[in-house]
Amino acid sequence: MLTEYAFWFLTFVAIFSAMGMILSKNPVYSVLSLIVTFFAIAGHYFLLNAQFLAAVHIIVYAGAIMVLFLYVIMMLNLNKVDEEKRSIWSKAAAAASFGILLLVVSAAIGHGHAQSELQSVADTSAIGTTETLGLSLYKEFLIPFEISSVLFLAAMVGAVYLSKKEQYN
């Protein structure tokens, strides 16, 4: 019962802060709303017994990535409305296409649910603990884990390359 209330509360917070992130004119407010969204999602992870994911979600997204976002915004001093005005048509087209996507996905999920094809996992208590996650990460998902190291190395080399000072000669 309490869990259900918590779920609805977190969902409410997540959706509204996500909307706040998109709708606010001030980029700093956008970032702050996004952080609130991350917290709400971390709360959802907690409800799913995935404490490790919740904590890592906060540390990585709210604690590191969004700080870098804030950096950029603060350094560029993007105060209020600096963004380009877009034509009403492009806005309408974007809204329409993503609206259709939302409709289709929600219809599919509703339809799928009616067919009860979403198997519910019987025991969720041990899924998200650090031990289970670690074991599945280093056994079942060892290859993707190692492969992602290549991804990070590539991203790191790329970032260093792009930020290195160009020698003008």
Applying CB under 8 A, which residues contact other proteins?
Answer: 28, 32, 35, 51-52, 55-56, 58-59, 62-64, 67, 70-71, 74-75, 104-105, 107-109, 111-112, 115, 117-119, 129-130, 139-144, 147-148, 150-151, 153-155, 157-162, 164, 166-167
CB of 4 to other proteins, least distance (A): 19
CB atoms within 10 A of CB 38: 21
* 57 and 65 Cβ atoms separated by less than 8 Å: no
What is the b/e burial string over 42-74, where b = at least 16 CB atoms within 10 angstroms of the residue's CB?
bbbbbeebbebbbebbbeebbeeebeeeeeebe
**Residue with Cβ nearer other proteins (11 or 51):** 51
Q: Say which residues have a Cβ less than 8 Å from residue 10's Cβ, sequence separation at least 6.
A: 40, 41, 43, 44, 47
Label residue 85 left, alpha or beta by phi (over 0 means left) and psi (-120 to 50 means alpha). Answer: beta
CB of 59 to other proteins, least distance (A): 5
CB of 101 to other proteins, least distance (A): 8
Closest CA to 51 of 59, 35, 31: 59
Q: In the structure encoding, which two tokens stand for residue 37, read together?
A: 């969204």
**Residue with Cβ nearer other proteins (92 or 142):** 142
**Residue with Cβ nearer other proteins (85 or 152):** 152
CB of 162 to other proteins, least distance (A): 6
C-alpha 76/C-alpha 29 separation (Å) is 15
**Residue with Cβ nearer other proteins (14 or 35):** 35
CB of 32 to other proteins, least distance (A): 8
